[in-house]
Amino acid sequence: MLQNSHSITVYALIMFVAGLGIPVMAALNGGLGNKLQNTALAATILLFVGFCIALIYLFGSNGIPKSLFTKDTPWYFYLGGCFVMFYILTITWVAPRFGIANAITFVLLGQLVAMTLIDHFGFFGVTQFKLDIKRLAGLILMVAGIFLVLSKSQKS
């Protein structure tokens, strides 16, 4: 879990940069899908490039793993790739048609709902953070902000 204020700052900055990459990836891959006239091919290329980078990172940081599976790891922990694939295929297809801001806005809304449920109930073994009045108020403000951004992004 969180160690100190320095760790919190580093974690926040890393995730901020990761968040910056999501709409950039959506725009790039949506453009690639349009140029190739093939959403699935664009998604495959994106995942192949990502796979190569992940392999380089894996072998560079940890070496060759001894095992891909362990007895104490629930089977559903291996399903994260399904969500990545769904996201990549849908953002590649939807973003050029719906707009980057609109698409990412609804992705963010989905993330807010999912994170609240996962944290509140402690799904998948994560640290549980109950939904209290302060968190609820923050979520309501974030959702309101999302809809304000969405209303500004509509063409007149």
- pLDDT by residue (tens digit) across 5-58? 788 899 989 999 999 999 999 999 999 999 999 999 999 999 999 999 999 999
Q: 1 pLDDT band (50/70/90 cuts)?
A: low
Do 39 and 33 touch, CB atoms closer than 8 A?
yes
Who wins on pLDDT, 90 or 149? Answer: 90
pLDDT above 80: residue 2: no
For residue 4, the model assigns a pLDDT of 79
Distance CA(78)–CA(150), nearest Å, equals 34
For residue 70, the model assigns a pLDDT of 84
Closest CA to 111 of 22, 43, 40: 22
Distance CA(141)–CA(124), nearest Å, equals 27
Instruction: Show me where the domains of the chain are located.
Output: 5-153
For residue 149, the model assigns a pLDDT of 81
pLDDT above 70: residue 151: yes
pLDDT above 70: residue 153: no
Do 42 and 29 touch, CB atoms closer than 8 A?
yes
Q: Is 67 left (phi over 0), alpha (psi -120 to 50) or beta?
A: beta
What is the reported pTM?
A: 0.80
For residue 35, the model assigns a pLDDT of 97
